[in-house]
Every structure is written in structure tokens, then in C-alpha cells.
Chains A and B, each alone.
Chain A
């Protein structure tokens, strides 16, 4: 028996279809994903001005709630919030309250007292941002900055923006995601986004130990042999390989992994000549990608960083706007009564 609506649509979207939280790409349609990309394009232009700030979130407080530390991601969210004129508070909780046994609910109760308008949440447990979105006061927007193995929707959207900038479209594209898909929240969000935006084919290339069960059900095909998998590719996305994977008996050695699944110049030469190379970072040179490829002409890894700020400005302003519009409607509703 299905007890729940299998999408998170109702939690993320207002009755008018505006974004209210940004937790996952599940349940967001092509029109909305395109709106996010278009809005981000406008924010890229803002980043080229002499004053790189717009007043959208002036007077709002954004709390970066990082239960799992990540300086890079936190910095881009912080910069994005500041460029929207918000006040930003960075809370690195990975080392404080929760590790001392305080529950997530208790931590949240304390934070609510700070009258924040938005929480940017990163957590090692899948679903933590959903849990927070379900428990916060109405009006507070939750942005998922990566949860467990579940989703990293802003990363996936900035990757989509990068692809659109270079390829101009999604229709007909053949995209491969290579490496540790099993542990990757980014890969899950990318597969979802590519499918919704109309990519022709998404291949995951990895040994069976690094693939989730029934991964095809996410909307991709499996290729164990990277040499075969590189054929006709328009985009190749490399995933970061954590060193711990050797200890869990998932892989024999870095050397064997690099030989079979590392992106070398020889393997890249098998793809389409215009194929772009992406990596969500941070890169392990010589583990999943050859230095000459990471720094080479087909690599768009640095574009991804610039796009990250614009995408985060887009989803933050859209979600905050959705919350505010919803509040206006609520108040109007009350006034009528």
C-alpha cells in the first residue's frame, strides 16, 4: 500500500507551483528546472557588474547549517547569499551540538529562536533537509546543500547550467557519469536532472560494487567497460572517489581503478571530439582523472565554480520569493475572512 505521495512535490512547491524549499529535483518539472537555469543566467550577468549585489534578500537572515563540513560548498552559498544582500550566519554543527548527543530537533528549536528566514542544510544523513523542512515554522525556506547519498540539487543544477552553456541544449545529448555512483548524492541529482531536461542517454560507468541496486530505475543505463562507454559521448562527468572505498572491499586499489575507470587522454579521445569534461570537485588527480585532462581544453571544471554562485542565488531567491508570496496569500486569505 502506498501511504505517501512518492514525490516531494507538495513539500517543495506552493499551491501556485512556486518553489518554497529546494530539497530534491524529484517532482520538479522541466519548466521549473529551466526557470532556475534562466534565472541563474541573469545572476551571472550581475556577477560581472562593478557592484555584484542585488537587494532581493535585504534584511533577511540566511543560516548556513552545515552538519557535515564543506568549506567550498559553504563558501559559495555564503557568497550567493551576500550577493543577494542577505545577512549570513555560518554554523558548523559537525563539531558541536549534535556530536554531543543533542538531537536534530533540539538543535532546530534553538535556531528557530534566531528568527532566520532560510536554512541552507548539509547533513550526512539522507533526508535530513526533508525532516527539517517538515518541522520548521512556515515561512522559513530550506535549501539542500547535500544530504547523505540522497541529493545535491544545487550542484546538479550548476552542472546543467554548465552543460547548457557549452552545448546550448539537452535534447540529443549523450552523457556519462563515471565512478562512485553508489555513494554519490550528486550523481542521483544529475541523473534526475538530465532525464527531466531531455538528454538522449545517461550512462553510468562503474564496477558493480560502486553502483546502487536497481540503478537503471533512476533513468540510466549501466556500462562496466569504460572504453566502450566513452563512445559518442557529448559530456563526461567524473565523480570523486573517496580513499575509504578500498577499505570497504569495494575496490582493490587506486591503481586498478585509475587504469579501468580513470579519465585519461586516451579514453577521452574515444568520445566525441567536442565532448566536455566535468567534475563536481574536489579532484583527485591521478585517481579518477589525469591532470592533463582536468586542465585540458575540454575541461569545464572551473566554469562549474562560477556557475555555482549563480545557481545558488537563483534557488535562494526563488525559494524565498515563494515563501513570501505564500505569506502574502495567507494574509490576504485571513483579511477576506
Chain B
């Protein structure tokens, strides 16, 4: 296997330039040793930052599926374009990933066509219907790294309790997006100022916070490793911090767009920003940012949800939720850093070591480590448009805007994932 020397870049969180040698899929040398070693190929990373490859805890690859909304090849290339090297693939596919056979199919396709590492997440209930337990042990044996119910709710607290207890038996991590179905009802926007003015059907904050509380209590009782995905409310962050103080094994993430936007994004009925959980108030956004900075929230996800254009072109109520966000996640983070709302160290941690530890992996740039890394120029800019985007989903946040942060190189297992071949 050939070797690659990356020089001139700075390690994230460190202002001095360094040199890195990649050989046999691993980081063979760092710093002065790397400078002295010979290499087959050199990459000039002057002005760039070297970070571990980003880890996404919630990403929809849409395969298996009918291909209209994307597939493993298109969406993993988009991920590499965004600097990601490890993706936890949501079980919300068609068919749902609720059996070892589907997991194997995903892993087979990924082995052939994926630019980056795909880690399937298994469906915790059969068909994600929220009623019957899936074959969790079988899913785990086939390669699922955690169990979740995708974006859907589990039918009731009794089923949820049994899901957790069963997963606990096998030491599996469960991931849930907390939402009380009865309280969320037919809503599709934050139950607040904008929804009241525009007459949108609201999802109240308490739809999330009641579910968070319920899940925390059940996790405490069952002893399962609980991960709360895509929080949207200030109160959820408080409850999370309290639970941790009590010693409950709970981790959490937030979608990058929740840190960037508020309900105001819907002000002109812009269906693009119809996401689930909904974009909430400025107070919530600030609390979520504080949660990331202070470490109460472990990870930032892309919550990448590619769609065909028809799925987003309708009055909001008739559209499907979600942004095609994975290519813009880093840029949004850098915008937050530019504005002083987030520091670079917290941003990189929440995209790398934070999410990695949730799934029992590591993400660091040290000698001997697997060469999953991303080289990006924070001062260069790009524009999401039909030419630059790789994802099938064109409903990106901030379309047509000049965004900071261009990914120059993404390596997964030492293999070049971006720029694609």
C-alpha cells in the first residue's frame, strides 16, 4: 500500500503546523518523524485544519429503498464531501433494517460502493411500528452498533420499557428521538410565535420534554445505555444534565440545524426548514449551544435526510421533514464559530470524539490510529448548488449562500474518500 504525507496543516485545537504520514491505512507518523520519512504522495495542507474524520450518529442513506431519495453511493460521497468518515445509518429504510438480512445487505452494498464507514443502526421494534420487539441480538450479531426506532415513536411506555430491558440484556445502546406522540399529534412546527401567526399545527415543547423525562426514568430503572438523539428544547438539556448527575448512563446529540436556526426560518412558509423535531425558539437554540460547549450534549449530528424534490415542494403540512444537511454541517459549525457562539474545540469534539465515544469507538489523530481524517480549509468558502452538491437531496440549509469551510481531503481507513474518484 502506498503512503501519503500531509504537510502544512494544523491539528484541530492546536495552532502549530504539523506533518502526518499515512501508511497501510493508519497514521504511521506525526510531526518531525513524519517529516523525515519518505512518501509516495504528498498533500499540501497549508492553511488547513486536520481533524479526525467526523462521526455522524444520525444519517439517512435511503438504501435499501427505491432510490428516489438517494442511495448508499450518493449519500456516502456527500458525507465524505462534508468531512464525515463514519456514519450511523438510520434503520428507517425500505424495507426497515429490522433483520440481520437487511443489515447484511446494507453492509454488502457499503463494502462495494461506500466512500466511508457505514455502521447500521438496527430497528428496535419490528418494522419500526413501535409495538413488537425486533431480533435485537440477531441484528447486533449482523453488525448493528445500536438499536433505535428511527424518527418514529414507540407506541407506549410499556413497550418502551421492554425495549430498554431487552436491549440491556445484551449490553446494546438504544437511541431514541424523544417525542410523545399523543402530544405531538398532527403538528409539524414548534408550537410558538411563528406557528401561532401562520396557523401552523404546533408540536409543543412538552411533547419532547415529557418523553425525555419518561425515557430517563425508564433508562434508570432498566439500566440500559440510553442515547437521546436530536434534542430541540432547553428544558431537555437541563434534564439531561440532572440525570447525568444522578449517574444515569445517558448521552445525547443535537442536529446542527438546531444550533443554527429557530422557528423564524419558517416565517415565509419555507417548507425547506420543516424538520423534526421542529426548529424552536431562540432561547432553546442558545441552551442547546451551551449544552454542546459545556459537554452536556456529546455530539452534533447532521440528521441528514435526503429527499426527492417533490417531497419538499408543497405546502409545509404536505412536505416531508428533514434537511439534506451532511455537506453543510461543518460549514454551519464554522459559521457558529465565526459568530462566537461555539468554539472550535467544542465543534470538533462534538463532531469527532464525542459521537465516537457514544458508540464505543475512538476518533483521534495519533500515531497508530486508523487513518480516518478530514482536512478542511476554514478560510475558503463554497456555495451549495446543483454543481457542488453530491447528495440526491437538494433541500440544503442556506442554499446559494457563501459558506465557510471547504473540505480538501477526506480519508477513511487511509483511503481517499473525498475528492471522489
Contacts and interface: CB of A to CB of B under 8 A. Distances in A.
Complex: A in contact with B (CB within 8 Å): yes
A123 B315 contact: yes
Contacts of A2: 262, 264-265, 267
Contacts of A213: 191-192, 195-196, 202, 204
Given A213-B191, A217-B196, A217-B197, A11 B268 contact: yes
A1 B314 contact: no
A296 B398 CA distance: 56
Interface in A1-36: 1-8, 11, 26
B202 to A, nearest CB: 6
A149 interface: yes
Interface of chain A: mostly helix, strand, loop or mixed: loop
Given A3-B261, A126-B200, A218-B196, A131 B314 contact: yes
Nearest to B318: A125
Given A188-B197, A188-B199, A217-B193, A127 B265 contact: no
Number of contact residues on B: which range applies?
20 to 34
B328 to A, nearest CB: 13
Contacts of A147: 199, 315
A6 B315 contact: no
Interface in B379-420: 398
Contact of B264 (A3, A26, A215): A3
Contact of B196 (A6, A105, A148, A215): A215
Interface in B316-345: 316-318
Contacts of B201: 126, 149
Contacts of B317: 125-127, 148
A3 B398 contact: yes
A7 to B, nearest CB: 8
A11 B269 CA distance: 12
A6 B198 contact: no
Contacts of A123: 315
A103 interface: yes
B198 A126 contact: yes
Nearest to B314: A104
Interface string A117-133: 00000010111101100
B199 A185 contact: yes
A151 interface: yes
B159 interface: no
Given A214-B192, A214-B193, A4 B270 contact: yes
Nearest to A104: B314
Contacts of A148: 199-200, 315, 317
B376 interface: no
B269 A127 contact: yes
A153 to B, nearest CB: 12
Interface string B186-212: 000001110111111110100000000
Given A105-B314, A131-B314, A131-B315, A212 B196 contact: yes
Interface in B273-293: 273
B264 A127 contact: no
Contact of B267 (A5, A103, A128, A218): A5
Contacts of A218: 196-197
Contacts of B156: none
B320 to A, nearest CB: 12
A103 B308 CA distance: 13
B260 interface: yes
B262 A126 contact: no
B55 to A, nearest CB: 25
A7 B260 CA distance: 20
A240 interface: no
Interface string B75-99: 0000000000000000000000000
B268 A130 contact: yes
A150 interface: yes
A4 B264 contact: yes
A142 to B, nearest CB: 13
Contacts of B204: 213
Contacts of B264: 1-4, 6
B90 to A, nearest CB: 25
A103 B317 CA distance: 13
B112 to A, nearest CB: 34
A151 B269 CA distance: 13
A208 to B, nearest CB: 13
A212 B199 CA distance: 9
A315 B188 CA distance: 31
A215 B197 CA distance: 8
A125 B186 CA distance: 12
A218 B197 CA distance: 7
Contacts of B197: 26, 188, 217-218
A2 B265 CA distance: 6
Nearest to B401: A3
Contacts of B193: 214, 217
B198 A127 contact: yes
B68 interface: no
B318 A104 contact: yes
B313 A151 contact: no
Contacts of B262: 1-2
A150 B197 CA distance: 7
Nearest to B189: A126
Contact of A131 (B198, B199, B269): B269
30 contacts: A1-B265, A2-B264, A2-B265, A2-B267, A3-B261, A3-B264, A4-B267, A5-B268, A6-B264, A6-B267, A26-B197, A103-B310, A103-B313, A105-B310, A105-B313, A105-B314, A125-B318, A126-B200, A126-B201, A126-B316, A131-B271, A147-B199, A148-B199, A149-B199, A150-B199, A212-B202, A213-B196, A213-B202, A214-B196, A217-B193
Interface of B: 191-193, 195-202, 204, 260-262, 264-265, 267-271, 273, 310, 313-318, 398
Given A3-B398, A123-B315, 13 more contacts: A3-B264, A4-B265, A4-B268, A5-B268, A127-B198, A127-B269, A131-B315, A135-B313, A148-B317, A149-B200, A150-B199, A213-B195, A217-B197
Q: A-B pairs with the 4 shortest C-beta distances?
A: A149-B199, A127-B269, A150-B199, A212-B196
Interface of A: 1-8, 11, 26, 103-105, 123, 125-128, 130-131, 135, 147-151, 185, 188, 212-215, 217-218
